[in-house]
Amino acid sequence: MITKRNGQIPEDMRVAPALDHSVPVPSVRNHHALLINPFYPKDPRASFGKHVLTPTLALTSIAAATPEHWTVQYWDENLLQGAPPFDPFPAVVGITVHLTFARRAFELASWYRRRGAKVVFGGLHVLSCPDEVKPHCDAIAVGEGVQLWPEILQDVENDTLKPVYRGNFKQSYAAEPAPRRSILPRDSFLTTSSLIATRGCHNRCGFCYLSTQGLHMPYRLRGPEQITAEFADDDQPYAVFVDNNLGSRPAYLWQLCQALKPLNKIWSAAVTIDVTDDPSLIREMALSGCTGVFVGFESLNETNLVASRKRTPAPADYARRVEILHRFGIQVNGSFVLGFDHDGPDVFARTVEWIEENRLECATFHILTPYPGTPLFTQMESEARLIHRNWDFYDTAHAVFHPARMTPDELEAGYAWCYDRLFSHRSIWRRRPNDRQAVLSYLAMSYLYKRSNSLWRFLIRHRLTARVWRPLVEHSRKRHLAHRRRLAACKDADLKTRSPSNCISPGV
């Protein structure tokens, strides 16, 4: 069941593991690096399972750039295995810093630095708040960390470590090495195949981290053959593309789909709803193994979208476009931001009602959050609407500004109501697929993923995530292969009808 109050969340899901300050000063192992993804408190309304869906791609990419004469170790505090290790004691500790767990990153850095390790920070918070971050580490990496990491380690060896390293995103994206997944605890994730084919996005929404001042990330592509090789080598049936928008270049996505088809695997990705401009591309996505997409609808109010500079089809056309995805058996996880200036207290019920009417299999809600360095933050700051600057609560689950048409308390209560309503028995049943054969599978996934947080905690703690979920993933893969065969046999006339014909089975 969805937990209703923070106090009811198990302590290890809301409080970082304790650091042992009695540990004596150890002997530093030269040429040994430790990469850490810090702990962050879990939202009681959302699924705990999303935190172990895939590993962080940033750290496995950094690991891939580590010189051969260095050893490297990976530690994710969110896997509930305790505080990071210290035997062997690392010469260098690399920590990803996001604003919501910056405080924890600083605690970890202090612990390791006191015992002789050099600590290097990377991540978006380093770019947006460098002066806040610098006192807590030995060096910061601003920009593309993969190109900077070998230089940083070389300077550590030569005792010439600089306080600031700056990279850019102009070097060949295709030349970067494949992520080093061998360092991962494979049993702890639903899949270790987190893939990225493109970098950047054609949108520059004022509330998005990609609009952070100083972040210049051009849209770059990797060869489809590189992606398929990574997917094949990882020996997983399912992959999650972590691209901001895999569909920004339709011609490229088409090529990628052709490359993925022979693998007979399944995948999901984030796209914008304009990917449905060409229904034949959606068909190719389905034929290549796409079973679900994460779509940033953001708002059903067009005025909100215009104000935030999001280029998107009109919300009035969203339903038709969702139907195109469903027609080809692709599930939709819709992302909605609550608290825009044109949102009143009615936005919550209106949004959930639309989700139910259009049978979105899943939805993710976010309270509008002004990330530092973004145009939205600048606006809120200039209008004196920020409530505080405690980054711990800049997690899209708390109201950190004064909304225009409701109170902060109303916004937080509405956010909570959206999750409670959408993942109620009634709503889950109302959103079931039209295809009767797909209902049982849909219900199993809905209840196990969204209404089983106590189970998720058990699976995470005992490293059973992959073992329990792999049979369900394999079942989905086999169902999708059967769906692909039917879809491939469909005639063009069948594909143009609004109602799925007998040869198409939606809701895989």
**Residuewise pLDDT in 10s, the chain (508 residues):** 233 334 478 999 999 999 999 988 889 999 999 999 999 999 888 888 888 999 989 999 999 999 999 999 999 999 999 999 999 999 999 999 998 999 999 999 999 999 999 999 998 888 888 999 999 999 999 888 888 999 999 999 999 999 999 887 667 667 778 899 999 999 999 999 999 998 765 555 545 545 555 555 567 788 999 999 999 999 999 999 999 899 989 999 999 999 999 999 999 999 999 999 999 999 999 999 999 999 999 999 999 999 888 788 999 999 999 999 999 999 999 999 999 999 999 999 999 999 999 999 999 999 999 999 888 999 999 999 999 999 999 999 999 999 999 999 999 999 999 999 999 999 999 999 888 878 888 888 888 888 888 899 999 999 999 999 888 899 899 999 999 999 998 765 455 554 344 444 433 3
| Residue 110, domain CATH | 3.40.50.2300
Enclosing domain of residue 365: 185-489
User: Does 193 map to a domain?
Assistant: yes
Chain Cα centroid distance, residue 163: 30
126 plus 208 within the same structural domain: no
Q: Kindly give, in sequence order, each residue whose CB lies less than 8 Å from that of residue 289, ignoring residues fewer than 6 positions away.
A: 260, 261, 263, 264, 265, 266, 267, 480, 484
Is 215 contained in some domain?
A: yes
pLDDT of residue 211: 53
Q: How many structural domains comprise the chain? A: 2
Considering the domain architecture, whether residues 149 and 191 belong to the same structural domain is answered as no
Phi/psi-derived region of residue 454, left when phi > 0, alpha when psi is between -120 and 50, beta in every other case: alpha
The answer to whether residue 272 sits within a structural domain is yes
135 and 207 both lie in a single domain: no
The per-residue DSSP string of 85-127 comes to: P-SSEEEEEEEE--GGGHHHHHHHHHHHHHTT-EEEEESHHHH
Residue 133: how many other CB atoms lie within 10 Å: 22
Position 427 in a domain = yes
Residue 300, in any domain of the structure: yes
Does 11 share its domain with 142?
A: yes
146 in a structural domain = yes
- pLDDT (0 to 100) of residue 452: 87
* Claim to verify: residue 103 and residue 238 sit in the same structural domain: no
Q: Is 1 among the domain residues?
A: no
Q: By C-alpha distance, which of 21, 5, 375 is closest to 214?
A: 375
pTM of the model: 0.90
- Based on the domain organization, do 453 and 311 belong to the same domain? yes
Predicted pLDDT at 83:
95
Return d(Cα 112, Cα 38) in angstroms, integer. Answer: 13
Question: Is 145 found in the same domain as 201?
Answer: no
The number of C-alpha atoms within 13 Å of 84 and in the hemisphere containing its C-beta is 25
One domain for residues 149 and 230: no
Specify the CATH number for the domain of residue 380.
Answer: 3.80.30.20
Tokens read off for 9: 């969340």
Q: Are residues 192 and 154 in the same domain?
A: no
Q: Token pair 């009615």 is at which residue?
A: 346
